[in-house]
Amino acid sequence: MEWIRDERPRRITLISTGGTIASRWQGAGYAAEAAGSDVLGASALPEGVTVDVVDLFNVNSSRMTSVRQLALLHAVHEALADPGVDGVVITHGTDTLEESAFFLDLHHSDPRPVVLTGAQRPIGTGDSDGPGNVYDALQVAASVRDLGVLVVFDGLVHPARGTVKTQTLASDAFSDPSAQHLGKVGFGRVDTHRSPERPAPLPLPAADASAALPRVDVITHHSDADPLLFRAALAAGARGIVLVATGAGNATPEFVDAVAEAVEQGVLVAITTRVPAGEVAEIYTGGGAVDLVAAGGLLTGTLRAAQTRIAVLSALLADVSPNHRTELLRGLLNGPAFQEPALAAGSRFSGGSPTPAGAHH
């Protein structure tokens, strides 16, 4: 599909959150400091686009928290409450951009786009990639609809789901190791070749949800791993645990026992893998995915640890019964086909009424 901006002026809200794109030298290293107006001022604007800047917070994204992500989600919804806004661009640090993008996407029901971008090289440096990325993000936000939340970086358009940081320093920082990007930006136009598959969006969590956000921990399996840290997470009050398994989703019989204990206590357990690409699958026993699933763990498809944790968090924030929460999480992890039973069961959500099952945008 080719999307070319028409002649109608476009109004975009830019929400600034910090990151390398807003970082300046501090004497010993770079840290987020520049205001959103400075970030925008370093970039040219696409023709016919006007921008309103919101300075939400200004942090290196390694300091991102669920509380800040919830504030960002509400800021996006507040921006889109204005019918005169055509889209939202968020400037964000690259370290945790994949988590914020997926969190926003799981709760995004508006046809207008939300586009996240950032930079690998700080503002004010001669080779900064921030201005080009901001220009491209504004171009995409002014051009597309019904694609959900997007990541625009280094001339490419990515869906939020599955897109992770794959390069620590290179300009082409983001990709989905298991799928192709959505499109490209260049020469005044946006070309997309597919639409992302997205589960029915969750309503906005209650504004006071940040007062008691559930703990969700990530535990990694390795050659000498035992369930000590897994059980420590349980003891710390985790209501969700992501087990980063080996291979196609395999651990040991000891982990199987720990997963069963957690599920018995009502804790959500999701099983992903430390392998960069491919699906997790029930193939092996002896502590493998076959046994982990039998113990109550949920496989994550191609979602990796950081975004799996966000899916668990969103499932826990949804105001549904414990019996429905597992099925809701299964849908968030695996796509639209799995989510409909939970939504069709008359579930309630904090922050509004549920979107009808199968109503995808």
> Which residues are marked as active site?
20, 94
Q: Which two tokens stand for residue 192?
A: 């997309």
Cα(139)–Cα(134) distance, integer angstroms: 9
Distance of alpha carbon 73 from alpha carbon 67, whole angstroms: 10
Tokens of 333: 């992890």
Please answer whether residues 244 and 221 qualify as being in contact, where contact means their C-beta atoms are separated by less than 8 angstroms: yes
Structure tokens at 236: 């710390």
Copy the structure tokens of residue 139. 């171009």
Q: How far apart are CA 301 and CA 281, in angstroms?
A: 8
Interacting residues of 67 by C-beta distance below 8 A, sequence separation 6+:
210, 213
- How buried is 63 (Cβ within 10 angstroms: 0-12 exposed, 13-18 middle, 19+ buried)? middle
What is the distance, to the nearest Å, from the Cα of residue 202 to the centroid of all Cα atoms in its chain? 14
Beta-carbon contacts of 257 under 8 Å, excluding residues fewer than 6 positions away, are 227, 295
Report the distance separating Cα 282 and Cα 274, nearest Å: 16
Q: Using an 8 Å Cβ cutoff, are 282 and 74 in contact?
A: no
Q: How many CA atoms lie within 13 A of 47 on its CB side?
A: 7
